[in-house]
Structure 1
């Protein structure tokens, strides 16, 4: 049997990241609190934690884009704003997204809504 195309396999893998966070059709909420991602997070230093959180953020965002989601809420928490600011910087690398603070009545000030635009033709 023929080997599957790497691009297709990569897309299928990417799509699985966002699927576990889906709330409704084409929407998801992703909690980036380190304790929701890693059991033994106390073993990690702050740089490792941030690296893991940003990596998971990127995988979920790319998965959402590949799977035609139109909104993903990322819960970054309040803290010192390091993760929030890093996410905002990363989002500038994605021309097909725009973002705003998530509704405070639902998430407080610790979340960001990322809206994804999908162009029919390039």
Structure 2
């Protein structure tokens, strides 16, 4: 049977208790430690475990458990991965989710009217932003629900000049989104 070797000054931890300390005395199978609260306690060898002090790098470097790697191994060469250049810069289509939980953190105290009003005002702001910045196309995600928000969006979009709109890609959004296209002036 091998016994664990503890030296004075080793950092140790008690196995079945949340106690750490420094070894102050070693006598046969009994180890005396001093805790961080300055208590002096005695334990048997099988009740303690050494704590590796990562601050003491010299001890770690000299330890036998450190695996030494040969320095004459050549590093791997990077493989040349072909890159493709495109003339057009591909940008994603801006998507604006109008679900109330995406717009505010807590909507518990809001009435249905307040929620719908906030959603339509948000859509109007995004619409104005896209027009000002000459964005060719945006998507409003409104969800399916009872169709009240979609009806409000359709009403607002019908009154806006210079745009066309339609249901968004069914495969990507299902029935819960509307694509808006902006007619750009040639100026």
Shared topology, TM-score over 0.5? yes
Shift of 1:47: 0.2
5 Å matches for 1:28-47? Answer: 28-47=94-113
Tell me the equivalent position of 1:73. Answer: 139
Give the TM-score, by structure 2 length. 0.50
2:60 is matched with none
Residue 24 (structure 1) aligned with residue 91 (structure 2): yes
- State the 4+ residue runs in structure 1 displaced beyond 6 angstroms: none
The structure carrying a bigger strand percent of its residues is: 2
The aligned residue for residue 149 of structure 2 is 83
1:15-66 alpha-carbon deviations (Å, 9 max, x no partner): xxxxxxxx926x3100000000011112111000000000000000000000
Q: How far apart, in 1, do the equivalents of 2:91 and 2:98 lie?
A: 19
Match of 1:17 in 2: none
Ranges in structure 1 where 5+ consecutive residues have no aligned partner: 1-22
Match of 2:165 in 1: 99
* Structure 2: 5+ residue stretches without partners: 1-89
Once the 2 structures are TM-superposed, how far is the Cα of residue 118 of structure 1 from its aligned partner?
1.4
Aligned length, in residue pairs = 98
Aligned Cα root-mean-square deviation (Å): 1.4
Displacement of 1:120 in angstroms is 2.7
Larger radius of gyration: 2
Q: Cα offset for 1:81?
A: 0.2
Distance across 2 between alignment mates of 1:43 and 1:24: 38
Instruction: Please state whether the residue corresponding to 1:120 is helix, strand or coil.
Output: coil
